[in-house]
Structure 1
Amino acid sequence: MKRNSFRYLWIGQALANSGDLFYIVGLMAIIHGITGSAMLMAMIPFVTTMARFISGSFAPVLMDKYSLKSLLASSQIGKTAVLFLLLVTYYVLGEQEVTVYAIFGFVFLISFLDGWAVPASHAMLPRLVDAAELTKANSFVALVDQLIQLGGWAVGGLLVVAMGGSNVIWLTFALALAAAVFMKMVEDRHEAAREQKGKAGGSNWSSIQEGWTLIWRQPSLRAIHILYVLETIAGVIWIAAIIYVYVADVLHREEAWWGYINASFFLGLMLGGLFGMRGAGLIDRNIRKFVICSSFGISLMTFGFGVTSVPWLALVFSAGFGIFEQLKSVSLQTTLQRSVSIHLLPKVYAAQSAMVSLVFGLSTLLFGYITDEFGVRATYIIAAMVLFVSGCYALGIRTRLPELGEGPEQVRIGTE
């Protein structure tokens, strides 16, 4: 974990993630100032999800032609250019309704570029650290991301008040540019072999299918991604719209409690990340048990959160959910990275990104309907049931999850 390239990768990711968060806050402030419409503000995450699904579907074609480092750097450079065009457009058109629709177009382009950067970043990490340090490295990167998420929304809000929405976009532009510089500094020890391989043969369609086919045909990968899908379906309960209803209808508290719940959730994620770093060896030796126990733990926390009307208990359950969620995420991430060769891993992550984006988008609509028709308590109880099924499934397929003793050379799919 002390290698410079790993340091450049996580710093670049941290800058990019901070910029993404700030620009969303800035854009929402601009859209609210122009229209005052909550629905149009909510369109930003929807457009983001759909763009990432489309881009993630076609990412394998680019991964066959270019190195992961090139994709990461070009994504950030492209986002920098699009952010500049967004700012120019805003100043030219001014605060009118057509500006909002232009903003949606730029959001789509930025998210489209993220659609290949996210899987490329995940696939790059195992190339930069030793296999024995994967759990620790994944926990560290997750911890940094959660620190940004925990403080970023508050900092972004303060920046909007102090600087204005458009100036926050300028800050995002600078962060994206800095992220691109750090991504260019990463040295991939496997890149030379990748360049020698050249522009891969075969049709674009076969390239797109490769990751999906691998996930479907390999029992261990199929099992891991069924867990990802189930968790993504239930994870929708933490979007702002549903939490907002929960605070008003179940806790009967003011809007500030929406922020308290989110803060406790991210605090739990951070604690889980810290445990992952300090207890990496323990997780490695018992990775199957951690996946199973955290799956049931998430279900229990979700059920408790949904049925309680006591505000402080809701905070406890929210933090507990975050702890178990982080432990499960790190365990699955490490298992996946150990199960697939580094050359096929980008394709698998690209398929995973597209899959999760599509499932999340559809689940948002489904749980929104359930909340409107049956109440927010029903939403959390159903989500807890889905997560319980996930735990039962994890228990049933535990033998498909490799332990540390089964080294990468024994369990990896598509080893070169």
Structure 2
Amino acid sequence: MNQSFIKFLISQVLTILAGVLLDMALILFVYQKSQSLFETSMILVISSVAKILGSILLSNLFDKLSAKGIMAGTSLCKIFLIMVLAVTYTSIPTVLLMTFLLSFIGSALSPAQGVLLAHIAMDDRVRLNGIFYTVIQIFQTAIWTLGIPVVLVLKPFVVFYLIIILLLLSVVLLRQIDVKYRVQADSLSYRKRVRQGWDDLFHIAELRNVTIMDTCESIANVIWTQTFLLFFTTSFLGLPEEWWGFQGAAYFVGSILGGIISIRYSKAVSRLGGKVIFGSSLLVAILTGIYAFNKIAWFALVINFLIGIPYQIRDLVQQSLIQENSPTYSVGRIFTLRQLILTITSSSSLLIFSYLSSQIGIQSIYLIAAFIYSAVTIWIFLNRKIMNFSIREDKSENN
């Protein structure tokens, strides 16, 4: 395991911790002010709209700057905005405006992370992806368990400056990463570059099928967003806000176990990639249906734990497939365009389901999600290309 991977991993742990703390602080602020699922969900909707615009307007950066440079620059911009937020967060409109700006700038972060990890983990994708996401989940578990009490006790001003410190440390580590690849500049116009990315995304079978599958599931995935889980916990389960964090922690513990399984059995997971995706999707569909009817607190934790296991294994397979099958010249565009598609779908679903929850009840939304997961599982089973997916081991270079 090389030093660049370790430094990259630590930097992303710090970034993730900062992001979760920021989300918790903003969501709790709006929820406590409004006591409304719709108004609280507007944080995620506005964040999604900003990410859509950012994905469109900032995608060209990947043809001019390195992924490492994009990540460092994004974090520095977020630090400045959080400093402004620390002294202007007194009203919901102000929080929503700053959420938009932070999400717009941050829209380049996830694709850049995918690009940089693809280069660092090139020779052993499943194992290094497994280690990366398992460690991330361990720290997410800790922050979901301890973060909400911390945010509730500390003043938002203190939380914001804690976030700034985490982001600064992340930038310092990013600058120390040594990755031997260069941005492949070309003379194509912005429009032609985007068109080239679309062509690669929808003409390469692995990328096309994984993207279609993710897009369909992103409609149902809104039930696991922070606002929906918070509202389900307090209104349907009748539990205090701390149980929102406990359920998130249980999910991440399951994700950690899923990551460990992926690392331990990386060769089998690579060889049986498509069948792993099918089995994981089936388990998620079944467990979501059970969760929608459950009203027992401890069993809700068990279900979240169990859902985390197949979700993590499947995500690792899909990430490895995307990294392996994305041409080097357009990998940044592919990650950005995927984010654009998924963000549009999830934000639209979030807005629609937030409204529907007030009309038909939060339980009905979870049942609809279980139906969508089931439909996707059936489609995967009937799609021979997905069922036959596999990941090549020890690949030394991209397409």
Per the normalisation by structure 2, the TM-score is 0.89
How far apart are the structure 1 equivalents of 2:307 and 2:153? 34
Q: Does 1:220 align with 2:206?
A: yes
Q: Does 1:394 align with 2:385?
A: no
How far apart are the structure 2 equivalents of 1:333 and 1:141? 12
Partner of 2:247: 261
The match for 1:142 among 133, 148, 153 is 133
> Following superposition of structure 1 onto structure 2, how do residues 104-183 of structure 1 map, counting pairs within 5 Å?
104-131=96-123, 133-161=124-152, 163-183=154-174
Partner of 1:363: 349
Partner of 2:58: 59
How far apart are the structure 2 equivalents of 1:358 and 1:320? 28
How far apart are the structure 2 equivalents of 1:248 and 1:161? 16
Greater CA radius of gyration, 1 or 2? 1
The match for 2:302 among 310, 316, 320 is 316
Partner of 1:271: 257
Partner of 1:72: 71
How far apart are the structure 2 equivalents of 1:259 and 1:130? 35
- The alignment covers a number of residue pairs equal to 397
Q: Does 1:47 align with 2:67?
A: no
Structure 1 residue ranges without an equivalent (≥5): none
State the AA in 2 paired with 1:11.
Answer: I
Structure 1 residue 316 displacement after superposition: 2.7
The match for 1:374 among 341, 346, 360 is 360
Partner of 2:286: 300
Structure 1 residue 333 displacement after superposition: 0.8
How far apart are the structure 2 equivalents of 1:27 and 1:384? 29
How far apart are the structure 1 equivalents of 2:152 and 2:367? 38
How far apart are the structure 2 equivalents of 1:246 and 1:25? 16
Structure 1 residue 32 displacement after superposition: 7.0
Could you list the per-position Cα deviations for residues 207-232 of structure 1 after superposition, in whole angstroms to 9, with x for gaps in the alignment? 23332232223332111101111221
Contact kept, 8 Å, 1:339 with 1:408, in 2: the verdict is no
Partner of 1:403: 390
Structure 1 residue 403 displacement after superposition: 1.7
Measured at CA, do residues 190 and 363 of structure 1 come closer, stay the same or move farther in structure 2, by a change above 3 Å?
same
Computed over aligned residues only, the root mean square deviation of the Cα atoms, in angstroms, reads 2.7
Structure 1 residue 254 displacement after superposition: 5.1
Structure 1 residue 151 displacement after superposition: 2.1
Contact kept, 8 Å, 1:29 with 1:165, in 2: the verdict is no
How far apart are the structure 2 equivalents of 1:72 and 1:240? 24
Measured at CA, do residues 291 and 101 of structure 1 come closer, stay the same or move farther in structure 2, by a change above 3 Å?
same
How far apart are the structure 2 equivalents of 1:4 and 1:234? 38
Structure 1 residue 29 displacement after superposition: 5.9
State the AA in 2 paired with 1:142.
Answer: Y
How far apart are the structure 2 equivalents of 1:391 and 1:31? 36
The match for 1:328 among 314, 338, 344 is 314
Contact kept, 8 Å, 2:14 with 2:167, in 1: the verdict is yes
Contact kept, 8 Å, 2:125 with 2:394, in 1: the verdict is no
Structure 1 residue 373 displacement after superposition: 2.7
Contact kept, 8 Å, 1:31 with 1:40, in 2: the verdict is yes
How far apart are the structure 2 equivalents of 1:130 and 1:409? 6
How far apart are the structure 2 equivalents of 1:32 and 1:325? 28
Structure 2 residue ranges without an equivalent (≥5): none
State the AA in 2 paired with 1:357.
Answer: T
How far apart are the structure 2 equivalents of 1:5 and 1:314? 39
Could you list the per-position Cα deviations for residues 247-295 of structure 1 after superposition, in whole angstroms to 9, with x for gaps in the alignment? 4565455555434433322221221122122221221121111011111
Structure 1 residue 96 displacement after superposition: 4.9
State the AA in 2 paired with 1:112.
Answer: F
Could you list the per-position Cα deviations for residues 118-153 of structure 1 after superposition, in whole angstroms to 9, with x for gaps in the alignment? 10111111211243x211222222222222322224
How far apart are the structure 2 equivalents of 1:157 and 1:377? 24
Measured at CA, do residues 66 and 265 of structure 1 come closer, stay the same or move farther in structure 2, by a change above 3 Å?
same
How far apart are the structure 2 equivalents of 1:86 and 1:253? 30
Measured at CA, do residues 259 and 15 of structure 1 come closer, stay the same or move farther in structure 2, by a change above 3 Å?
closer
Measured at CA, do residues 248 and 348 of structure 1 come closer, stay the same or move farther in structure 2, by a change above 3 Å?
same
> Does the residue aligned with 1:187 lie in a helix, a strand or coil?
coil
Greater mean deviation of Cα atoms: 340-349 or 111-120? 340-349
Structure 1 residue 364 displacement after superposition: 1.0
How far apart are the structure 2 equivalents of 1:160 and 1:316? 25
Greater mean deviation of Cα atoms: 122-131 or 77-86? 77-86
> Does the residue aligned with 1:334 lie in a helix, a strand or coil?
helix
State the AA in 2 paired with 1:365.
Answer: L
Structure 1 residue 170 displacement after superposition: 1.1
